[in-house]
Amino acid sequence: MRLNGTLNWHSPEGLVRSVAAKVGQGARFCALFASPEAAGTRLLALLSHSGTLVPEATMVPEGAGGFPTLTAATPAAAWYERRVKDLFGLEPRGHPRPDPLVLPRRPGSAPPRPGWGQPVSALPPDDPGAAPPAACPGQATGPLELDLSPLPAHVQGEGVFTLPYGPVRSGVVESVEYLIETPGERVPHVRARTFYKHRGMQARFPGLSLADGALLAERYEGVASVAHAIAYCSALESIAGCQPPPAAGLVRVLHAELERVANHLSSLLAHTEAAAQAVAAARVATHKERLQRLRAELCGNRFGRGVVVPGGVSGPPLAGAKSLLGPLTRLQAGIRADLELLMATPSFVDRLRRTGVIAPSLARERAALGPVGRASGQAGDLRSDHPYAAYASLRPPASPTRTAGDALARQQVRQEEMESAFDLARQALEGLEELGPTPVGGWRAGLGAVTGEALGWAEAPQGELFYLVDAVQGRVRQAQARSASFHNLALFATAFPDDIFTDFAFIEASFGVSIAGVAG
Amino acid sequence: MPWLTRGLREGIVTTRYPHRPDGYGASFAGHVVCEPGALGAEAEAAAAACPTGAIEVGRTGARLDQGRCVLCGRCCQVAPRWFRLRPGFETAALSREALVVPESAADRRAIAQAREELRQRVRALRRSVHLRHVDAGSDGSEEWEIAALTGPIYDVQRLGIFFTASPRHADVLLVTGVGTAAMRGPLRLTYEAMPAPKAVVAVGTDAISGGLAGGTYASGTGVASVVPVDVLVPGSPPSPFSVLHGILLAVGLVGERQREQLPGKSRSEEVAG
Ligand code: SF4
């Protein structure tokens, strides 16, 4: 969706009113993007209103120091505003709890304002003699100052203690710290500190060629490389006003759906391990490895990297329907059979049932996304709501919803999504077979030296993914991603009201977020 | 009971590497190599096309730093005469210099020294090895590849390799990610908590050089400035087989692959100049 000329501009107060009014009329709060500009910081709130995406913007002038919070009226904005505070130094005035989330700056120190020029670093310089990069207005000019001391506990009372879990945790997992504030077995409060993995991705995009931007997008949230590349590239294609050729759309669907299955298997694997179902875990791990190998057969990379490029795809798949349909069908049958047995194993199902419940009303208020949202009654799937790639030409994906809102419902949703993903992948393979080795329109369209700003999207395995990309003369001026992992992890703390500590691993597995996608 | 029979139904799926070669691993595009004497417009064009600046064209020929390469394949398309994807997964190396190909004489000496130093240190570990993993700012994919090693297909337990939660029981530290500002402290603490002798394996291009995501105000350019790295496993991400090769290399159970070499006299300074 091209943005130039379509933004609804407001004053900072006007933005709060407009967003609250639209949310009151049933709109869903999708995201809040922040971009550094010469005049100040542009905040762009994205809403989904009666099936249309509505961008609402304000410019917070340089020196204003803050902006009135959206969170009081729109709770789903809470994490976004904490991010804006960390990275842009703007105080969301009236925010209930603006603690550091992605960058724990020392209070009062200058922010990095990523996305415009290269900010100074919080790291020791590689070359101590080098001159620091030129700062943009309001940007830190001395080294970034971080404060990594523990946060004060929010739960107070006799016998309440804070248990830090992380950032280095047991097992081979991503680094994140959960502060578990508990008076014993019950878990009244869990807070996620995600800044350990903050890589400053928004600062890395400016100046890249369009093709290099796609490679970087693939590494934003590496387990959803394909979705990220699709969302980033479709933003560029909107700017250029071009459509990728039909064959490229099918290749994108093929890779995106296999990526979905891989992620859902990863979530299932974490569940089976948490439940100590050793044989089931071994079976799921084998399915996942076979799938990764099939993905590599298609493109030489186990994560589908290098396939999606601006304007289309890098070329035809390295393997076709003839060699892949058989293994895919066998894999699907194997997964289905194991899931049937697993979902009939009481010692497994009982651990998931009524664990980590998110009530549909809360899921609605916080606009929960992807399988987490769908398990709590929130329909919505970009593949059918705003079709991209070749989705419009295929049988629509099944986006099942449940209302139980527990880990079991999330697992059931993922199970059905896997079936539908296999079906879509098969349709894409058959479609490619029909188009033949030299399809009409080829594999990619030329974009030229594009200039403009647009929003691109994809339904990642974790849920709705957006890229906001601004390009000048065929180079990236600014780009930023909003992963469903970021949006959904904000709900994690609410999933614990009745659960004992031992349910933690199940709730985490059922959220299926990637911390890289949260920290940015 | 049904799970037991299901477990048996598959038969043996486990690879026999490193005792026997593995067909799948060998067909994998493992790393990009550069022919000695790569010069001229084509080599220059390849260097310009590289998204991570991994290729440097010197006087006697281009050299490619696999520690920065993200395997995008562009150089191989631009200059197929000089650069090609080489199949095989034994990509890990014992020093930063060893990842720059073709290898120079000066690098050869440094590599031999690193190899001997590590061999002395890890002699005590060989029978069973305990691994601890720390994510220092990865994109999340390296964790999948490392975790795959404990699954039935790789089954590293058969080789006496185990993952442990406590750094105090760990011999080998696997580090992923660019080395973010906030992970430097926890990574250092984990390393210090491990008893000697110990070895560190940097898993992935990000951990070696920062890769594509490195070099911002909060992301590092690899983890070597935080912990002493013994073995480097390039790749974005490296496949499970490559990670396994790196682990076996760290404990001295396998050797490095044979590298392309520059003619005897050349020195890395000359090439870089
Ligand atoms: S394959 Fe590696 S060396 Fe070649 S262009 Fe890509 S990143 Fe650079």
What pLDDT shows up at residue A143? 76
pLDDT digits over A222-245, tens only?
A: 999 999 999 999 999 999 999 999
Q: Residue B127 domain-assigned? A: yes
According to CATH, the topology of domain A207-469 is Cytochrome-c3 Hydrogenase; chain B (1.10.645)
What pLDDT shows up at residue B119? 82
Q: Residue B238 domain-assigned? A: yes
pLDDT band at B267 (very low <50, low <70, confident <90, very high): very low
CA dist A76 and A488 (Å) reads: 10
Residue pair A477/A470 in contact by the 8 Å Cβ criterion:
yes
CA dist A81 and A95 (Å) reads: 8
What pLDDT shows up at residue A187? 60
Give ipTM to 2 decimals: 0.95
CA dist A387 and A503 (Å) reads: 37
Whether residue B271 is predicted with pLDDT greater than 50 in this model: the reply is: no
What pLDDT shows up at residue B108? 81
For residue B68, the CA-to-ligand 1 centroid distance in Å is 8
Identify which of B72, B77, B85 to mutate to test ligand 1's pocket (most ligand atoms within 8 A of the CB): B72
User: Which DSSP letter does residue A391 get?
Assistant: G
CA dist A451 and A429 (Å) reads: 34
Q: Return the structure tokens found at A348.
A: 């497994």
Of B148, B163, B217, the CB nearest to A121: B217
What pLDDT shows up at residue A37? 92
How large is the greatest C-alpha to C-alpha distance in chain A, in angstroms? 72
According to CATH, the topology of domain A1-119+131-149 is Beta Polymerase; domain 2 (3.30.460)
Q: How many CB pairs under 8 A join A and B?
A: 192
Q: Tell me which amino acid residue A79 is.
A: W
DSSP chain B: -HHHHHHHHT------TTTS--HHHHHSEEEEEE-TT--SHHHHHHHHH-TT--EEE-SS-EEEETTT-----HHHHH-TTTEEEEE-S---BSSSGGGEESBPHHHHHHHHHHHHHHHHHHGGGTT-EEEEEEESS--SHHHHHHHGGGSTTT-GGGGTEEE-S-GGG-SEEEEESS--GGGHHHHHHHHHHSPSS-EEEEESHHHHH-TTT-SSSS--S-STTTS---EEE-SSSPPHHHHHHHHHHHTTSS-PPP--B--TT--HHHHH-
Cis link prior to B18 (omega < 30° from 0)?
Answer: yes
Question: Is A364 an 8 Å CB contact of chain B?
Answer: no
> B73 CB under 6 A from ligand 1?
yes
Q: Which atom of ligand 1 is nearest to the CA of B70?
A: 7
DSSP A178-246: EEEEESSSB--EEEEE-GGG---HHHHSTT-BHHHHHHHHHTTSGGGHHHHHHHHHHHHHHHHT----H
Of A212, A266, A279, the CB nearest to B6: A279
DSSP A401-427: --SS-SHHHHHHHHHHHHHHHHHHHHH
CA dist A383 and A410 (Å) reads: 19
Three-state SS across A90-125? CEEECCCCCCCCCCCECCCCCCCCCCCCCCCCCCCC
What pLDDT shows up at residue A348? 96
Nearest Cα residue to atom 4 of ligand 1: B75
> B51 CB under 6 A from ligand 1?
yes
Identify which of B63, B64, B75 to mutate to test ligand 1's pocket (most ligand atoms within 8 A of the CB): B75
Helices A278-299 and A321-342: crossing angle in degrees, nearest 10, is 160
- Which residue ranges in chain A fall short of pLDDT 70? 125-135, 150-160, 183-188, 497-500
CA distances from A500 to A356, A412, A503 (A): 10, 22, 6
Domain with CATH 3.30.460.80 in chain A: 1-119+131-149
Distance between the two ends of chain A, CA-based, in angstroms?
23
CB neighbours of residue B19 within 10 Å:
9
Instruction: Give how far A266 is from chain B: nearest CA, Å.
Output: 8
Predicted TM-score (pTM) of the model is 0.94
Q: Return the structure tokens found at A270.
A: 């974490």
Domain count for chain B, please give it.
Answer: 1
Q: Any idea how long chain A is? A: 520
Q: Could you give the angle at the alpha carbon of A486 between the alpha carbons of A481 and A492, nearest 5°?
A: 170
What pLDDT shows up at residue A151? 57
- What value does the mean pLDDT take over residues B125-149? 93
Q: Could you give the angle at the alpha carbon of A356 between the alpha carbons of A350 and A358, nearest 5°?
A: 125
Q: Tell me which amino acid residue A33 is.
A: F
Residue pair B87/B227 in contact by the 8 Å Cβ criterion:
no
Of B134, B180, B225, the CB nearest to A124: B225
H or E, element range at A457: strand A452-460
Residue pair A413/A510 in contact by the 8 Å Cβ criterion:
no
Name every chain A residue with its beta carbon within 8 A of the beta carbon of B179. Answer: 123
pLDDT digits over B89-133, tens only?
A: 889 999 999 999 998 777 788 788 888 888 888 777 767 899 999
Domain holding B150, by residue range, is 119-250
Q: Residue B104 domain-assigned? A: no
The CATH number that applies at residue B150 is 3.40.50.12280
Domain with CATH 1.10.645.10 in chain A: 207-469
Residue pair A44/A56 in contact by the 8 Å Cβ criterion:
yes
Q: Which atom of ligand 1 is nearest to the CA of B65?
A: 3
The alpha carbons of chain B give a radius of gyration, in whole angstroms, of 19
For residue B50, the CA-to-ligand 1 centroid distance in Å is 5
- Is the pLDDT higher at B220 or at B9? B220
Q: Residue B214 domain-assigned? A: yes
Q: Tell me which amino acid residue A192 is.
A: A
For residue B208, the CA-to-ligand 1 centroid distance in Å is 15
Q: Residue B138 domain-assigned? A: yes
pLDDT digits over B12-46, tens only?
A: 789 988 888 887 777 777 889 999 999 999 999 99
pLDDT digits over A12-49, tens only?
A: 999 999 999 999 999 999 999 999 998 899 999 999 99
Residue pair B130/B163 in contact by the 8 Å Cβ criterion:
yes
CB contact under 8 A, B72 and A306: yes
What pLDDT shows up at residue A506? 94
- The residues in A 207-246 lying below 8 A from B, measured between CB atoms, are 211-212, 215-216, 219-223, 225
CA distances from A401 to A370, A405, A420 (A): 10, 10, 14
pLDDT digits over B156-200, tens only?
A: 999 999 999 999 999 999 999 999 999 999 999 999 999 989 999
Instruction: Give how far B262 is from chain A: nearest CA, Å.
Output: 29
CB contact under 8 A, B217 and A280: no
CB neighbours of residue A128 within 10 Å:
6
| CB within 8 Å of A192: residues ≥ 6 apart | A176, A177, A178, A489, A492, A493, A518
Q: Residue B260 domain-assigned? A: no
Q: Residue B114 domain-assigned? A: no
CB contact under 8 A, A220 and B139: yes
Q: Residue B218 domain-assigned? A: yes
Percentage of chain B beyond pLDDT 90 is 65
What pLDDT shows up at residue B268? 36
